[in-house]
Structure 1
Amino acid sequence: MNNSPRTVQMRQLRGLSLIELLVSITIGLILMIAIASAYLGSSGASRVAEAQGRMNEDGQTALSILVQQVRMAGDNPRRYNYAFATPTNPAFGPGTFAIRGCDGVFSGVTTTAVISGLTCAAGTNSLPDSIAVAYEADTSNTVPTVGGLPTDCAGQGLPVSTTNSVGTWNTSTLTVSTPTLSFYVADNRFYIKTPSTGNTPSLYCKGNGGTEQPLVENVEDMQLVYGTAPATGTMTVAGFLSANSVETEATLAALTDSSQRWARVMSVRICLLMRSPGPIVPDAGSAAYKNCDGSAGANAADLRLRRTYFSTVVLRNRVEPGN
């Protein structure tokens, strides 16, 4: 039987059935969910990668600053034109320190004039460690000011010291004279502090050129141990001690004073615990981390990423003969 033109036209105009429509909608929803899940997963992974990159950058920056400063501790170079009896500027003398640390916080870290006057605040052993270093500064081992002055760890110009107790050679007359000479000593203290205007723990520096300054944010902890020599004059490390043990270990405690004990320090092992600027991961399990001593961290519930960074620094001026 032949179909009439009207019947053919009605078949051509017929729409989708209800079942076909529901199937199409379901497939569309599945595709949308898959695309959204892929986007969210990619976005989450991107945020984690960005946070890890930021932590790595901040951690390496903080370590680089500390390594560079600790490495220079005690720098007091011999001068080619100074007399044999006084080959260096009097940057260090009896009772002075090139390096000193605390298992916790220095008392009066921003007000005490010299490292020898620093003490460790009682009851702060559970807090991040602190360290102070001193060295003769010049325009080669610091970034000078516009006026050409050597600087402290915060880039502030250092106060000048003078002496007329150093003999210098006069190459024309081949005689020794004692003119007034100028030199600079950097006294830099490093510690972790949370500023009163925020809740971001940071690596701080207080130099003798001016006020304290934050250097790197999101540094949550700093732990330090010190490689000590078994005897005066040796350049080997017998083992690593905490700052408190440098003062109390039997062999070191037998020395005359604290400056002699810290003169036995040949190296420093540094650990920094860094954190991400804000919450990143979806659950506490993904935020798990280890402290500097290897124990499980206690703040994973805030969903921040955390990671420890380590470096061991040799005090070149202690282990290289002739310095």
Structure 2
Amino acid sequence: MSEAKVISTNLKYSQGRTLVELMIAMTIGLIISLAVTAMFVNNSQTYRTFDDKSVMEEDGRMALNMIAYHVRMAGTGPTLNTGLQTATGGGVSSYDLTGGEAISGCSGGYVSPVAVPVACNLTTTGPDSFTVRYVVDLDNSNQASPSLVAPTDCLGQAVALNVRPPPGQSDYTVENRYYIAVNPTTLRSELYCAGNGGIPLGGAPFLAGQPIMENVIDMKLIYGYDQQNYQSANSFFNAADLMGATVPAPVGEATPLPGDPAITKWSRIVSAKICLLMRSANDGLSPKPMTYTNCSGTVVTAMDKRLYSTFTTVVGVRGRLSGSTL
């Protein structure tokens, strides 16, 4: 009898869970798993969003700084004495850019970014492009390499030496062209630059442009125009306006000195407002298509779920602003 009692007691304490208890435990475990999974997904999405946003902002600021540096440099260079101005009491002449504008632009971009001379699309639908030119020497420029002593263009290509006839001196004219294009490798819209380095002086066409910043999908420029030569902007136009007949011609000196460069609308540009539209590298970062204001001031709803942001700066052409001696 006592042995049977012991067996009955052991069976009592070895009983399993009921079906209801198992279902409750499974439900609690499933809820915890779903909560952990949702937290992981949300944290991953937040990290991706902030990572892409920080990269986009860093690239936008870097691209603007790069462009602004070259706009400030537009038209700078050492002065040259032509002899003609000295004979008439006029002193030294301006620097010589070997037949090109210090800064010029194309509304709607270039027909070809490497063609010489440049041809413009003259539309308002596509991204703008622009060209800057300036004169440097070995004392105020980056050299291509220790073995190749020569200033460089925007891509680090050595620029050919420009040997001027007396009473001039030898120097280098740098020409950089900035534009937006689709990278055939990444299939992304990127900021490109083509320079006059790597080819003989006056050679054509330029070597192929290269991307310098990715995920730039638009660029617009508005130029500050100094019609009266007061060294400050009195009106603002895009490139298409400046190349048309509606913008008034610049007022020139009554008696220009011999040897002075021609007075053109582009020669009276003293500043530029630059706008870049950046897009995140990855899609699916926004819960719905983002609404943003583009570089033309138009409110646009995106066709995808990427992040978009505009970056804007105003840059003065240093050699033409008030207080400059050039």
TM-score tier by shorter-chain length is 0.7 to 0.9
Q: Deviation per CA, 1:262-299, whole angstroms, max 9, x where unpaired?
A: 122111111111112231325433x333211232335x
1:245 aligns with 2:244: no
Instruction: Please name the residue that 1:172 is paired with.
Output: none
Structure 2 portions without partners, runs of 5+: 199-206, 253-260
The one of 216, 219, 223 aligned to 1:219: 216
Share of identical aligned residues, percent?
A: 32
CA distance in 2, matches of 1:24, 1:6: 30
Kindly report which structure 2 residues correspond to 1:264-275, keeping only aligned pairs within 5 A, or say none: 264-275=268-279
CA distance in 2, matches of 1:88, 1:156: 29
Q: Deviation per CA, 1:106-129, whole angstroms, max 9, x where unpaired?
A: 2343021xxxx433225x321100
The one of 224, 229, 232 aligned to 2:226: 229
Alpha carbons 1:96, 1:259 under 8 Å: kept: no
The one of 155, 160, 175 aligned to 1:187: 175
Instruction: Please name the residue that 2:65 is paired with.
Output: 64
Instruction: Please name the residue that 2:317 is paired with.
Output: 315
Change (3 A) 1:56 1:28: same
2:188 aligned partner, one-letter code: T
CA distance in 1, matches of 2:124, 2:243: 14
Query: Alignment partner of 1:39: what SS?
Result: helix
Q: Normalising by structure 2, report the TM-score.
A: 0.82
Change (3 A) 1:251 1:278: closer
CA distance in 2, matches of 1:254, 1:239: 12
Alpha carbons 2:227, 2:249 under 8 Å: kept: no
CA distance in 1, matches of 2:306, 2:140: 37
Shift of 1:254: 6.2
Alpha carbons 1:225, 1:268 under 8 Å: kept: yes
The one of 274, 279, 284 aligned to 2:283: 279
1:34 aligns with 2:46: no
Shift of 1:44: 0.5
Alpha carbons 1:103, 1:243 under 8 Å: kept: yes
Query: Alignment partner of 1:91: what SS?
Result: coil
Instruction: Please name the residue that 1:177 is paired with.
Output: none
Shift of 1:158: 0.4
Alpha carbons 2:79, 2:95 under 8 Å: kept: no
CA distance in 2, matches of 1:191, 1:231: 30
Query: Alignment partner of 1:52: what SS?
Result: helix
Q: Deviation per CA, 1:45-74, whole angstroms, max 9, x where unpaired?
A: 111111112211221221121011101001
Instruction: Please name the residue that 1:92 is paired with.
Output: 97
Structure 1 portions without partners, runs of 5+: 168-180
Q: Deviation per CA, 1:128-185, whole angstroms, max 9, x where unpaired?
A: 0010010012345542111220011111000111123326xxxxxxxxxxxxx31100
1:135 aligned partner, one-letter code: Y
Alpha carbons 1:202, 1:214 under 8 Å: kept: yes
Q: Normalising by structure 1, report the TM-score.
A: 0.83
2:119 aligned partner, one-letter code: T
Shift of 1:312: 0.9
Number of residue pairs matched by the alignment: 298
Instruction: Please name the residue that 1:50 is paired with.
Output: 51
Shift of 1:245: 1.8
CA distance in 2, matches of 1:258, 1:78: 16
1:240 aligned partner, one-letter code: F
Change (3 A) 1:163 1:15: same
CA distance in 1, matches of 2:227, 2:268: 8
CA distance in 1, matches of 2:246, 2:42: 57
RMSD: 2.9
Shift of 1:248: 3.5
1:75 aligned partner, one-letter code: T
1:105 aligns with 2:93: no
Shift of 1:96: 3.5
1:291 aligns with 2:307: no
Query: Alignment partner of 1:150: what SS?
Result: coil
CA distance in 2, matches of 1:258, 1:119: 20
Change (3 A) 1:261 1:282: closer
CA distance in 2, matches of 1:148, 1:4: 104
